[in-house]
Structure 1
Amino acid sequence: MGQPTVQAASGSSAVNLTPLKRNHALLDPAQLSDMAEEAAHDLMSEGESSNTRASYRTAMRYWAAWFGARYGRQMDLPVPVPVVVQFIVDHAERSTKAGLVCQLPAEIDAALVEGGFKGRLGAPALNTLMHRISVLSMAHHLAKQPNPCTDSAVKALLSKTRKAYAKRNATPHKQRALTKEPLEAVLDTCDDSLKGKRDRALLLFAWSSGGRRRSEVSEAVFENLRRVDEGGYLYTVANSKTNHTGKVKPEDVKPVVGMAAEAMDAWLKASGITSGPLFRRINKAGRLGEDALTGTAIRDIVKARCSLAGVGDDFSAHSLRSGFVTEAGRQNMPLQETMAMTGHRSMDVVTGYFRAGAAQVSAVARMMDRTKPTGR
């Protein structure tokens, strides 16, 4: 009997891989894909954005591929606790005399890369590891299966893993916040071309209306934009991460005013858009299309404009959201008003960015710089 082969993750073509061991075969990705799709079905039916659904699908496909490579059979729910522990030690780096290492065998690592289940050899970022554990946990919860990710052994190992990374100053990476100053430099790259006017309107709309998520920008439509007498607009966010019902509440209405309104005026006049998607593809010939920009395209616009402005290459679409909150903290804006604009429900999420901004202008941090009081 011949050694097993593995298809590319897309399932479009076969790729012959070096067998890991004669008694340790990788599964066929066609089977893995079916299993992963089933496991992720409940996750993807929760009304999340297309980007979030894609991340769930990718995480479950990776789990299935890794499990098949490690154990030589198809993964089913519930996943045993020892398997989750093995997954963590396979993917978390630990310090040894030889340097940082993880437990994943090199043969399996190479096979997962060649199969298209991961982008490069080596340990993933800590954020990626935590995301994959979180997705597996949600899959068990929604399937009403015993959840191995809540086991005390798993929770203790994850806690120690975070602490180990923190000791090495390898805390989870966050995209830089695009605050007012770098955003102004980015806006300066937007010329009077159709694409320049679109990008300027998009960036200011996303930032100034509360740091909109890229899915919300992608789904923005003309019909939800209403001009107001004061010289601006009100935009209704009909569908968001915190509102999957489409039922509009007062807090879903966001102001688009000042520079953002001026940029929107210029874009609508130049594009002639009177219905449908607000932000659309523009082809190489400069012609406006009918289709909305995807979340990926919006991310690419942010990164490309930041690169043009020379402000750095570690910004992404989320930088608009975190930048809005960070700048609000820096300018000492009320936290509740900031959260009303962003739509954050969790204080824990928003206060991290808010306090980071406030800390940069903290008078307490500059006590050594203060002039000594006179008359004493």
Structure 2
Amino acid sequence: MPLKLLASLPLLDPQTLDAQADAAVRGLLREGSSANTASSYRAAIRYWTAWFELRYGRMFALPVPEAAVIQFVVDHAQRSTDHGLKWELPLALDRELVRLKAKGRLGAPSLNTLLQRLSVLSKAHELHGHPNPCRSATVRELLSKTRRAYARRGVAPARKEALTREPLQAMLDTCDDTLRGKRDRALLLFAWASGGRRRSEVVRATMENTQRTPDGYLYTMAQSKTNQAGAARADDQKPILGAAALALDGWLAASGIRQGPIFRRVRRGGVIGEPLAAAAVRDIVLERCELAGLDGAFSAHSLRSGFVTEAGRRNIPLGDTMAMTGHASVATVMGYFRAGSALQSPAARLLDDPQDSHL
């Protein structure tokens, strides 16, 4: 028997969400997403909107027809022809997308960008409860063959270069004894030596979750990309030892920070300002790379990939490396790990075996 309802309580339709509940859902989704993720999603949807409305002359709305998703792929994916690489996006439409600032420059996007925009559209359909055209057999087969076509041309999804020990040291050498220099040194070493922390994880470090120990510090991660719910895990604590601990000591002593976020803006005149945003970590990495004269496509993620690559170089067990980085997938981390250990592989030195010295 149904429970007796309060007379003043409005009845809801169990098949739909009312406006207040829908707004609450959107609020939770926004709050639970990183600023960087939210920004990239907005940019992808802006591009989809501009492309769709220019291509079809009608308002963009979900669900997107499967044929439109296929058209999007062939408009942006390059394919080999007798006359070189070609894609189907008309030049006039491409120019208009640039004029509208939906894209930065003329030409086909990278494979990474194409796949990311499709991923965002797929996510949007799922979140709104629409049938997902990106998961149709035809679209999945087309994307599989597209990836294979790019791979055969030697074009793999782009990865930022890894900041291993040598380039990292060059960046650290640019950090002087000013407040900004001390902060940047501490930040770079904190991010790298604690397992290659992501930008969002670096800016969430506080005096309350980073405890001093006799050997250094322990940073306790309450939440991360692979632990969105913040569940307690055995490897939540990341050690910060040696040079990284000394650099952090130096920054905290010079800045006078005793509580709250550790890494903050340094204003003119040596005034400690507000906590750094995640984008500021990227800017610091790029600035120090430039000052160090490093050539290459580096980003904040280069600290993470650099840690894993360096661990591979030194033959650190994969399990120990993953306990530091927090990677949930062995497949994800193995690419960098193998790249680092490749030159140390005994199998590459079979001709150097002392027993075969006569060769």
Alignment TM-score, normalising by the size of structure 2? 0.88
1:35 is matched with none
2:60 corresponds to 1:60 = no
Alpha-carbon separation, structure 1, partners of 2:111 and 2:104: 15
Aligned 8 A contact 1:307 1:313 in 2: no
Which residues in structure 2 correspond to 1:170-189 (within 5 Å)?
170-189=155-174
Aligned 8 A contact 2:76 2:109 in 1: yes
Match of 1:335 among 315, 318, 325: 318
Aligned 8 A contact 1:190 1:197 in 2: yes
Query: 2:280 corresponds to which letter in structure 1?
Result: A
Higher deviation after alignment, 173-182 or 366-375: 366-375
1:29 is matched with none
Aligned 8 A contact 2:161 2:296 in 1: no
SS in 2 for 1:56: helix
1:168 is matched with 153
Query: How much has 1:143 moved relative to structure 2?
Result: 2.0
Q: C-alpha offsets along residues 15-37 of structure 1, whole Å, 9 cap, x if unaligned?
A: xxxxxxxxxxxxxxxxxxxxxxx
Alpha-carbon separation, structure 2, partners of 1:303 and 1:361: 30
1:264 is matched with 248
Query: How much has 1:304 moved relative to structure 2?
Result: 1.4
1:274 is matched with 258
Match of 1:73 among 58, 62, 74: 58
Alpha-carbon separation, structure 2, partners of 1:305 and 1:337: 29
2:114 is matched with 129
1:201 is matched with 186
2:6 is matched with none
Alpha-carbon separation, structure 1, partners of 2:357 and 2:153: 46
Aligned 8 A contact 1:44 1:53 in 2: no
SS in 2 for 1:234: strand
Match of 1:215 among 200, 204, 207: 200
Match of 2:285 among 293, 302, 305: 302
Alpha-carbon separation, structure 2, partners of 1:215 and 1:93: 34
SS in 2 for 1:250: coil
Q: C-alpha offsets along residues 77-114 of structure 1, whole Å, 9 cap, x if unaligned?
A: 22111111100111111223332221111121111111
Q: C-alpha offsets along residues 21-75 of structure 1, whole Å, 9 cap, x if unaligned?
A: xxxxxxxxxxxxxxxxx9x959944712110111111111211111111111122
2:105 corresponds to 1:86 = no
User: Could you say if the C-alpha distance between residues 373 and 98 of structure 1 is closer, same or farther in structure 2, counting changes exceeding 3 Å?
Assistant: closer
Query: 1:156 corresponds to which letter in structure 2?
Result: E
Match of 2:219 among 235, 239, 242: 235
Aligned 8 A contact 2:171 2:292 in 1: yes
2:239 corresponds to 1:255 = yes
1:99 is matched with 84
Q: C-alpha offsets along residues 293-351 of structure 1, whole Å, 9 cap, x if unaligned?
A: 22221111111111221222411100001111111111111111111111111111111
Alignment TM-score, normalising by the size of structure 1? 0.84
Aligned 8 A contact 2:190 2:244 in 1: yes
User: Could you say if the C-alpha distance between residues 297 and 151 of structure 1 is closer, same or farther in structure 2, counting changes exceeding 3 Å?
Assistant: same
Alpha-carbon separation, structure 2, partners of 1:173 and 1:263: 32
Query: 1:141 corresponds to which letter in structure 2?
Result: E
2:35 corresponds to 1:50 = yes
2:334 is matched with 351
Higher deviation after alignment, 264-273 or 329-338: 329-338
Query: 2:74 corresponds to which letter in structure 1?
Result: V
Alpha-carbon separation, structure 2, partners of 1:343 and 1:112: 39
Alpha-carbon separation, structure 2, partners of 1:43 and 1:114: 34
SS in 2 for 1:326: helix
Q: C-alpha offsets along residues 125-177 of structure 1, whole Å, 9 cap, x if unaligned?
A: 11010111111111222222211111111111111211221222221110001
SS in 1 for 2:217: strand
Aligned length: 336
Q: Which runs of 5+ in 1 are unaligned?
A: 1-37
Alpha-carbon separation, structure 2, partners of 1:43 and 1:95: 45
Alpha-carbon separation, structure 1, partners of 2:343 and 2:84: 35
Query: 1:257 corresponds to which letter in structure 2?
Result: L
Alpha-carbon separation, structure 1, partners of 2:123 and 2:26: 11
2:351 is matched with 368
User: Could you say if the C-alpha distance between residues 266 and 76 of structure 1 is closer, same or farther in structure 2, counting changes exceeding 3 Å?
Assistant: same
2:306 is matched with 323
